[in-house]
Amino acid sequence: MNEYSKPGEACGLFGVYGVPHASISIYQGLFALQHRGQESCGIVVSDGAGIRASKGLGLVDSVITKQVCVELEGHIGIGHVRYSTTGSNLSQNVQPLVVECADGIWAIAHNGNLVNADKLRRMYQESGAIFQTSTDSEVLVHLLADPMFRNRPRRVARALCELKGSFAYLLMTRDCVMAARDPNGFKPLSIGRLGKGYVFASESCALNQVGADFIRDILPGELVVADQTGLSSFIFAEPRSECMSQCVFEHVYFARPDSVVFGQNVHDVRRKLGLKLAEEHPVKADIVIAVPDSGNSAALGFSQGSGIQLDYGFIRNHYVGRTFIMPKSGQRADSVDLKLAVVDSVVRDKRVVVVDDSIIRGTTARRRVSTLRKAGAREIHMRISSPPALFPCFFGVDFPTRAELIASEKDAEAVRKYIAADTLGYISLEGMMSAFDKPADYCTACFCGKYKVDVSGMEGKQSLEKNSAALCLNIKA
């Protein structure tokens, strides 16, 4: 278990087709998606004849320099920023993965987590295949190279059908870009138009960054191909409308507030969460403050709903970045202290409502409360814009065991005592879902234990408790 108490997300994807100086657009797009992963990044570009790549550990602006953009000339490309939920933080795991198959070079970038990756990996290893990485993303490479798929029509669509779990994929050959989402729709992926070319991105904020016009979201179970003929689309697996599983944490925490994710603006959703939180957990206080940045919109909503003045009690050091995606627990713990500073004059002798998006492991919330006490806050009332996280996630959010979730072992009062707040209030599951236009389309398994995808194969790997039935897990095939 790491020391930082925020969830971690897998990564961000950005790709272009038919866009001059593709490397520059990809750099800009990945820069807008940097909040989704800070461990590593990479871009792969093609001029229609050859493929060139630049990848490395670190932030976008340190790996993809101006000189790199000059050297990677082409009009086709894909890029990736990574936080590792599967596979360690090693250079060979940096994406996009670039491999040479019998029919040429492929590049692959993945956001999500495949629950049948181990099974597929063992199958190919037993037949003699050699894996170059420890990521689940690589299994798609072996499916594409398998003669059973390579020699048949719609090989990519057929290969994608073999995958179970959450995925948004960008794939590239020397003359096309392909994009796909899993049939349950866990991860976001959108299409935009830039000049005469096309853009693919995990969030709409990246489309805005490069000046692209939003076209639409890629549908669950859809494979979209951009090539010299334009855009074409295939449904490789029927969307599982009764099992739609859009990740609710995209709105609660991961996405930028200026993004439109799953058809709704993130800021608007978070503000509604704050309004509902004020309704469900009223309190007498002098000021409302946010834990920036993901708590800002919810704090605004809480202030509007309660009538309590909103103020800046925490100031964020933007040069530290989002500490949940730092690869080592020591780095995360140190960066918690560097990330936020308290404005003493704002909180001193005040009854303070602190609005945050979640409490996962509890250590960071405890640090925040302690810091506010030292600054002279008279009372500290924690308000959380998501319900208690009780169950592991197997689809790309980095809390894979119940042991890592403080709320799975402690009720709200025990959590309050642990973080040393005067009061603690979580939004209810029903209250959270009231912020969404189509609440049934979201995955809330981490709050209620009702998985819409079969996760039985993950029990050994990620310590899903044997008494899952007693924990009311409603697992559907």
**pLDDT, tens digit, 9 for 90 and up, residues 349-395:** 999 999 999 999 999 999 999 999 999 999 999 999 999 999 999 88
Q: Are 164 and 115 in contact (CB under 8 A)?
A: yes
- What is the average pLDDT across 386-407? 87
Domain boundaries, the chain: 11-244, 265-462
The residue written with tokens 């799953």 in the block is: 262
Higher pLDDT, 386 or 454: 386
Closest CA to 452 of 402, 369, 394: 394
Instruction: Judge whether 11 counts as a catalytic residue.
Output: yes
pLDDT of residue 327: 47
d(CA 148, CA 159): 9
pLDDT of residue 89: 59
β-strand partners of 233: 224
Q: Are 308 and 286 in contact (CB under 8 A)?
A: yes
pLDDT of residue 396: 79
Of 11, 69, 393, 443, which is the active-site residue? Answer: 11
Give the rounded distance of the alpha carbon of 374 from its chain centre. 34
Confidence label for 398 from pLDDT (cuts 50, 70 and 90): confident
- The CATH label, of 3.40.50.300, 3.30.450.40, 3.60.20.10, 3.20.20.140, for the domain at 11-244 is 3.60.20.10
d(CA 366, CA 155): 51
**Highest mean predicted confidence (pLDDT) among 58-67, 100-109, 131-140, 177-186:** 177-186
Confidence label for 457 from pLDDT (cuts 50, 70 and 90): low
Residue 198, both tokens: 């096309």
Q: Are 260 and 242 in contact (CB under 8 A)?
A: no
Higher pLDDT, 86 or 467: 86
Q: Which of 113-117, 146-150, 184-188 has the lowest mean pLDDT?
A: 146-150
pLDDT of residue 371: 96
**pLDDT, tens digit, 9 for 90 and up, residues 16-65:** 999 999 999 999 999 999 999 988 999 999 999 999 999 999 999 999 99
Beta strands in 334-421 (DSSP E): 340-342, 351-356, 379-384
**pLDDT, tens digit, 9 for 90 and up, residues 55-99:** 999 999 999 998 999 999 999 999 999 876 555 556 788 999 999
pLDDT of residue 464: 35
- What sign does the CA torsion over 435, 437, 440, 442 have? negative
> How far apart, in Å, are the Cα atoms of 46 and each of 10, 16, 295, 472?
25, 10, 40, 50
CATH of domain 265-462: 3.40.50.2020
Task: Quote the mean pLDDT of the chain.
Answer: 88
Query: Does position 401 have pLDDT exceeding 90, yes or no?
Result: no
Query: Which 8-state DSSP code applies to residue 295?
Result: T
Query: Does position 459 have pLDDT exceeding 60, yes or no?
Result: no
pLDDT of residue 83: 77
Query: Does position 101 have pLDDT exceeding 80, yes or no?
Result: yes
Query: Does position 470 have pLDDT exceeding 70, yes or no?
Result: no
Q: Are 372 and 380 in contact (CB under 8 A)?
A: yes
d(CA 242, CA 69): 44
Q: What is the pTM of this model?
A: 0.89
For residue 152, the number of C-alpha atoms closer than 13 Å in the C-beta half-sphere is: 13
d(CA 14, CA 222): 17
d(CA 419, CA 383): 12
Q: Which of 145-154, 195-204, 442-451 has the lowest mean pLDDT?
A: 145-154
pLDDT of residue 153: 78
Query: Does position 344 have pLDDT exceeding 90, yes or no?
Result: yes
Long-range contacts of the stretch 408-417 (C-beta < 8 A, 24+): 412/388, 415/359, 415/362, 415/388, 416/382
- What is the average pLDDT across 451-475? 49
- What is the average pLDDT across 103-111? 94
Q: Which of 71-80, 153-162, 299-308, 411-420 has the lowest mean pLDDT?
A: 153-162
Q: Are 324 and 249 in contact (CB under 8 A)?
A: no
- What sign does the CA torsion over 15, 20, 22, 24 have? negative
pLDDT of residue 331: 47
